[in-house]
């Protein structure tokens, strides 16, 4: 997960980066940071916590200059040190840089082992530090070529924003797995951001998505940006961005996420029909797909479960016991609506099965006569190696049990998932998608 942003050529750069990170809080809640440059000095503020907690007026006043990069970090169990926050700032032979990274390098351990053998020392467990070391070690005489040489040695998923005192580089890996878009600020200058939902908040006009394998360069004193295709593109957009990760008002590769989710719901209704009185979403992530399911099937839609908003995302809790309690606190049924009804309940995905179990239980306790569960994505049978924090094979319920067995465990009257083919059709067959969680095709060799 994670979110990154870069703002260039605007005297309010750090404030714009702050708003953009606020709009992308859903991509990471553990820590956040911004680095700005005023042409002479790079200043960084980063801390554990939410965007609104970390940045106050004082912090933003400190972050001077007309360029800034920012990052929201997604929580993964265990790695809680301040060293694991971004932007990562470093001094090297040619000056100072600050870097933000969204993604996951697949050859991280090999690269790190070889750097350590050559005398490098590391302060964090982040793969981003590998990139910094490779840039620092390169013998090329400018930053652009050092970055290109460094990226040649790493494999995997990255959207990067690298800032020196006077330049900014935005780079997307050749697979384009994570989204990354370019916009023009109405108040002047440019913005690059993980999701387009940030553009609306800061009044930026969408220009285009950054291309897989592309590097965009902004330079002080130049109004236009430069674009270089540094790697042969091999697009594989992450299907899970459309299913769950991205915000519904974002557009990825020209497709609106909300409409894509609704289409998945429609496809699910065609493929996995069930006779019921009501379609109920698991809020909030199942709402768009449930609307699509209801519209396609003709079964009335209703909000049968309310969500308590004063609780964070449940998935993040590191232990199963904590996750169970949090799901309980988060979701409550509307008994008068559900009593004696045949329900079809829609969620976007099943990972460990925690949410599904709880939902079926509360719907039955509320008096529903039948509860059928339909999932608007295929069964997740493989862990993601490309930047989503899905658990190991051991914890993934669909990696260990059949649909029939899961149905028994969660005590549903029936259970079904969207097929991989229907998912692809819903997204449009005009490009390739990364479907590794569903089909186990880890295509980055």
- Residues annotated catalytic, as ranges: 2
| Parallel/antiparallel/unpaired status of strands 67-73 and 95-105 | unpaired
What residues numbered 213-252 form the site for ligand 5GP, per CB under 6 A? 244
Nearer to ligand 5GP, 24 or 215 (CB): 24
SS3 61: helix
Strands (E), 198-277: 204-209, 214-219, 226-229, 237-238, 251-252, 255-256
Q: Mark the segment that binds ligand 5GP (CB under 6 A) among 128-136, 158-166, 333-341, 388-396.
A: 388-396
Under the binding rule (CB under 5 A), the answer on residue 377 touching Mg ion is: no
From the list 191, 388, 435, 444, which residue makes contact with ligand 5GP (rule: CB under 6 A)?
Answer: 388
* Residue 238: strand, helix, or coil: strand
Helices 128-137 & 143-153 angle (0-180, nearest 10) = 120
- CB nearer to ligand 5GP: pick between 44 and 285: 285
Residue 354 makes contact with Mg ion by CB under 5 A: no
Check residue 301 and report its DSSP letter. Answer: B
Residue 401 exposure: Cα atoms within 13 Å on the Cβ side: 16
The closest of 61, 65, 85, 81 to 7, measured between CA atoms, is: 65
Strand, coil or helix: what is 428? coil
**Closest alpha carbon to 417 in 380, 370, 371:** 380
Which span sits near Mg ion by CB under 5 A: 147-155, 172-180, 281-289, 337-345?
A: 281-289
Of 89-97, 258-266, 268-276, 382-390, the window that binds ligand 5GP (rule: CB under 6 A) is: 382-390
Stretch that binds ligand 5GP, among 44-52, 54-62, 92-100, 384-392 (CB under 6 A): 384-392
Residue 338 CA to residue 343 CA, distance in Å, equals: 8
Residue 128: name the closest of 145, 111, 149, 146 by CA.
111
Question: Which residues 270-299 are close enough to bind ligand 5GP by CB under 6 A?
Answer: 282, 285
Q: How far is CA 426 from CA 241, 270, 360, in A?
A: 14, 12, 27
Question: How many residues bind to Mg ion according to rule CB under 5 A?
Answer: 1
Distances (CA, A) of 144 to 40, 120, 123, 164, 167: 19, 22, 25, 11, 10
The single residue among 233, 235, 248, 353 that binds ligand 5GP, judged by CB under 6 A, is: 353
* Binding residues for ligand 5GP, total number by CB under 6 A: 19
The answer to whether 107 touches 386, Cβ cutoff 8 Å, is no
Decide which of Mg ion, ligand 5GP, none touches 244; Cβ closer than 5 to 8 Å per partner kind: ligand 5GP
* 356 interface partner picked from ligand 5GP, Mg ion, none, CB below 5 to 8 A per type: ligand 5GP
The site map against ligand 5GP for 296-325 (x = CB under 6 A) is -----------------x-xx---------
If the CB atoms of residues 156 and 383 are measured against ligand 5GP, the closer one turns out to be: 383
Secondary structure class of 3 (helix, strand, coil)? strand
Considering the complex, state which of residue 55 and residue 244 has its C-beta at the smaller distance from ligand 5GP: 244
Tell me if 314 contacts Mg ion by CB under 5 A: no
Candidates 43, 44, 163, 285: give the one binding Mg ion (CB under 5 A).
285
State which residue, 268 or 282, has the beta carbon closest to ligand 5GP: 282
- Which of ligand 5GP, Mg ion, none lies near 343, with the C-beta cut-off 5 to 8 A by kind? none
354 sits near ligand 5GP (criterion: CB under 6 A): yes
Cα–Cα distance for residue pair 263/236, rounded to 1 Å:
20
Least Cβ distance, residue 239 to ligand 5GP (angstroms): 12
Which residues contact Mg ion by CB under 5 A?
285
Q: Where do contacts with ligand 5GP occur on this chain (CB under 6 A)?
A: 244, 282, 285, 313, 315-316, 347-356, 388-390
């Amino acid at each position: 997960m994670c979110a990154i942003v870069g703002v260039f050529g605007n005297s309010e750069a750090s404030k714009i980066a702050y708003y953009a990170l606020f709009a992308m809080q859903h991509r990471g809640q553990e820590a956040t940071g911004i680095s700005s440059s005023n042409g002479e000095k790079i200043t960084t503020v980063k801390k554990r916590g939410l965007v609104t907690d970390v940045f106050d007026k004082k912090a933003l006043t400190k972050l001077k200059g007309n360029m800034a990069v920012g990052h929201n970090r997604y929580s993964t169990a265990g790695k809680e040190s301040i060293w694991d926050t971004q932007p990562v700032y470093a001094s090297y032979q040619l000056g100072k840089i600050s870097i933000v990274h969204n993604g996951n390098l697949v050859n991280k351990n090999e690269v790190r082992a070889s750097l350590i053998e050559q005398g490098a020392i590391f302060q964090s467990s982040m793969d981003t530090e590998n990139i910094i070391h490779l840039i620092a070690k390169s013998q090329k005489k400018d930053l652009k070529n050092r970055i290109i040489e460094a990226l040649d040695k790493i494999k995997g998923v990255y959207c990067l924003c690298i800032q020196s005192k006077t330049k900014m580089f935005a780079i997307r890996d050749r697979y384009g797995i994570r989204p990354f878009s370019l916009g023009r600020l109405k108040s002047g200058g440019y913005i690059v951001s993980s999701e387009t939902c940030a553009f609306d908040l800061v009044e930026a006009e969408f220009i285009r998505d950054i291309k897989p394998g592309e590097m965009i360069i902004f330079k002080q004193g130049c109004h236009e940006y430069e674009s270089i295709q540094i790697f042969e593109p091999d697009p594989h957009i992450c299907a899970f961005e459309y299913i769950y990760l991205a915000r519904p008002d974002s557009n990825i590769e020209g497709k609106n996420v909300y409409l894509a989710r609704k289409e998945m719901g429609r496809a699910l209704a065609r493929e996995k029909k069930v006779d019921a009185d009501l379609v109920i979403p698991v809020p909030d992530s199942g709402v768009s797909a449930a609307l699509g399911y209801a519209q396609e099937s003709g079964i009335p839609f209703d909000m049968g479960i309310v969500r308590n908003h004063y609780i964070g995302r449940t998935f993040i809790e590191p232990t199963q016991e904590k996750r169970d309690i949090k799901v309980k606190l988060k979701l409550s049924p509307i008994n008068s609506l559900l009593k004696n009804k045949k329900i079809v309940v829609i969620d976007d995905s099943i990972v460990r099965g925690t949410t599904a179990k709880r939902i079926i239980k509360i719907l039955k306790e509320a008096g529903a006569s039948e509860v059928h569960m339909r999932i608007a994505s295929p069964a997740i049978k493989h862990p993601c190696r490309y930047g989503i924090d899905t658990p190991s094979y051991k914890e993934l319920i669909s990696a260990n049990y059949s649909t029939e067995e899961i149905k028994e465990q969660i005590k549903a009257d029936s259970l079904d998932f969207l097929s991989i083919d229907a998912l692809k059709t819903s997204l449009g067959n005009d490009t390739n998608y990364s479907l590794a969680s569903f089909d186990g095709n880890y295509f980055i060799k």
